[in-house]
Amino acid sequence: MDAIKSFIDAFADPRLFFSLAVGSLALVVWGHEAFASKRWGWGLMAFLVALFGFGLTDENFNLIITKPDNVPIVGLIFLLLFFTWYSVRQGVLNDRRIAAGKPPIEKDEEDRVWTWPDLVYTELIAIVICTIIIIVWSIALEAPLEQPANSANTPNPSKAPWYFLGLQEMLVYFDPWLAGVVLPTLIIVGLMAIPYIDKNPKGNGYYTFKERSVEITLFLFGFVVLWSSLIVLGTFLRGPNWNFFGPFEYWDIHKLEALTNVQLSEVIWVQLFAVALPDSWFIREIFGILLVIGYIAVLPVVLAKKGLTKYYEKLGPVRYYVTVLLFLSMLSLPVKMLARWLFNLKYIVSIPELFFNI
């Protein structure tokens, strides 16, 4: 029992947890044909039920899972994984029809039906079921109410509402101006840009995987891996001082984590050149600044020439640069994560004089 628990705890470590999420997505994309089988869907659900069933026998796991405000996230895990499987399955089923020379199933169901009774009754039943779920949930679980607000007593950990915990988790890797302002803005802008940068005319109004595999992979990466899995991580696996705790671990407020992070400027000037840091922040940070400029300004141009030429030609310059910039911003999080995990890198550019750290 304890061996299994420490095994799961070890796997829940942010590095492994995130790599596991990325790896799973890669496997799903690569093996979508097999993943679409019913066996996989039920297997996935059974695995989750077994995991949570096993977890509920543990005191620490129980404490964090049954916290009233965390219950919806447990529901979200089940729903999200189910619908990910389900939508990939619908896509694969349609792809098989298309490969066999038939139109997607939705085309076969193009005939019109009467709104009354076909739709209104479906809606009525959905409303009734939804109401029952909410009422049962409300009777079973009391809404949380803690001690009265006290600005002199900071709880540890202090967490934002659960849907923002992915952003709070980003604070581990980025400063608030990026994690809390710029990147959320880019998420919204990026979502709104989707219909205008996606020029693929296929897959409009029906499930498919093959005809839109790149778009779907990117979306699943952003929505399921980055946004949702970081919410799960931030909710269940971050305890006092935002330290990592495995799901079966006791939230020890005295847990120590060595802070051995270094700045890029220190690595370059002190470790590489063996000189003291220059006084001027501009010279001190010049390498980091060049690196960032290279990432957001030079890399897209290079990629247009080599690597993503196909997309540059297909999308045209404006759409291409918007797409690549949004993509690189999304990728900046895993890039920074890797830099932190592999090199203990804190900031690429660190100018505390201007509150400007990247």
Q: Under rule CB under 8 A, which residues in 100-159 are in contact with another protein?
A: 103-107, 109-120, 122-123, 126-127, 130-131, 133-135, 137-139, 141-151, 153-155, 158-159
Cα 63 to the chain's mean position, in Å?
Answer: 24
DSSP 277: P
- Least distance (Å) from another protein to the CB of residue 116? 5
Residue 168 binds another protein, judged by CB under 8 A:
yes
Longest dimension (CA), the chain: 79
The closest alpha carbon to 163, from 76, 98, 246, belongs to 76
Helix (H, G, I), strand (E, B) or coil at 238: strand
- CA–CA distances in Å: residue 200 to residues 124, 191, 194, 213: 36, 16, 11, 11
The rounded distance, in Å, linking the Cα atoms of 342 and 339 is 5
Residue 33 binds another protein, judged by CB under 8 A:
no
**Interaction residues for another protein, span 255-314 (CB under 8 A):** none
- Phi, psi (degrees; rounded to nearest 5) at 66: -95, 5
Residue 240 binds another protein, judged by CB under 8 A:
no
Half-sphere exposure of residue 143: CA atoms within 13 angstroms, side-chain side? 3
Residue 247 binds another protein, judged by CB under 8 A:
no
- Least distance (Å) from another protein to the CB of residue 354? 6
Cα 110–112–117 angle (5° rounding)?
135
- Least distance (Å) from another protein to the CB of residue 180? 3
Residue 214 binds another protein, judged by CB under 8 A:
no
The rounded distance, in Å, linking the Cα atoms of 130 and 357 is 46
**Interaction residues for another protein, span 192-211 (CB under 8 A):** 192, 194-196, 198, 200-208
Two structure tokens written together for 108: 């076969």
Q: Which is nearer to another protein, 7 or 177 (CB)?
A: 177
Q: Judged by CB under 8 A, which of 40, 52, 54, 219 binds another protein?
A: 219
Only one of the segments 26-34, 76-84, 273-281, 329-337 lies at the binding site for another protein (rule: CB under 8 A); that segment is 76-84
Residue 78 binds another protein, judged by CB under 8 A:
no
- Least distance (Å) from another protein to the CB of residue 257? 20
**Interaction residues for another protein, span 46-75 (CB under 8 A):** 69, 72, 75
